[in-house]
Amino acid sequence: MTLTTRVTELLGSEHPILLAPMDIVASGKLARAVSQSGGLGLLGGGYGNKDWLRREFAAAGNARIGCGFITWSLAKRPELLDLALEHQPVAIMLSFGDPTPFAGKVKRAGSKLICQVQSFRQAKEAAEAGADVIVAQGTEAGGHGSNRTTLTLVPEIADALPEVPVVAAGGIADGRGLAAAVMLGAEGVLVGTRFYASQEAQGHEIAKRRILQADGDSTLRSIVFDITRRNVWPAPYTGRVLRNSHSTRWYGRETELMQHLDEEAARYSEAGEAGNFDTAAVIAGEAVGLIHDLPPAAEIVERMVREAEVLLGRRLGL
């Protein structure tokens, strides 16, 4: 069987697998590799850096890719959307904020609008804004998110908004996750942590090795690393990272951390540059417990699709 869905048709991809636009980690090289293997690579536009965006779009070459932004940050620098649209991306993904001010421009440029949401209310708002695809992100995901789980959020949105295809995100790292997402009503998956642990990801090798060594219990959702890097997000968003000495020291003592912020922020910055992940955060989700190697991105896509097709074929008696 072949996993053809409304998502693959809308995005022109062979497989319903999207690269999560992880800030910096989802580079042009990684996005190109995912797209060339049949999925859709999304650059990690994150908070927005013009030089990085130009460089990574160039690195992607002529591959069909998209780009993702943190919506509340993009609102401060809307010119970054114009820069991305100049490259005619397949899609623009907006997460963590109201997509309405940007929706019209994205669609007029000929790109598909993907909106990532963390609640049922946000899903309805995204549909009203004209989202072509809604990503339902569960709290299992690495990086920033909220408190709903993938298992219940995906079918709730899929049932209520049948006109908009849903992509599942959070805790998905193999074909079992892809098959499960399809059974929940999703028509694709957005995958982050699994692609972080790939050869093409623009991440520190020590961070990747930490992902391989971790299990699902090794992650923590908090605001400690945001406070320390002086980048506190609006409510209700917190960030999931691997537990380390820094988070263990300050989790539950956030007010005290703020009283020592100057010294801790300096220490955190130095640690990031030095690859010291006892202090700096490795941003990863609960799926770390399912990840045990560092293959090329194409191999990850191929494995996920092959395993999901087998599992779904059994379910359908094929």
Residue 73 CA, chain-centre distance (Å), reads 16
Find out whether 28 and 35 touch, Cβ atoms under 8 Å: no
3-state SS of the chain is CCCCCHHHHHHCCCCCEEECCCCCCCCHHHHHHHHHCCCEEEEEEECCCHHHHHHHHHHHCCCCEEEEEEHHHHCCCCHHHHHHHCCCCCEEEEECCCCHHHHHHHHHCCCEEEEEECCHHHHHHHHHHCCCEEEEECCCCCEEECCCCHHHHHHHHHHHCCCCCEEEECCCCCHHHHHHHHHHCCCCEEECHHHHCCCCCCCCHHHHHHHHHCCHHHEEEECHHHHHCCCCCCCCCEEEEECCHHHHHHCCCHHHHHHCHHHHHHHHHHHHHHCCCCCCCCCCCHHHHHCCCCCCHHHHHHHHHHHHHHHHHHHCCC
Which are the catalytic amino acids? 144
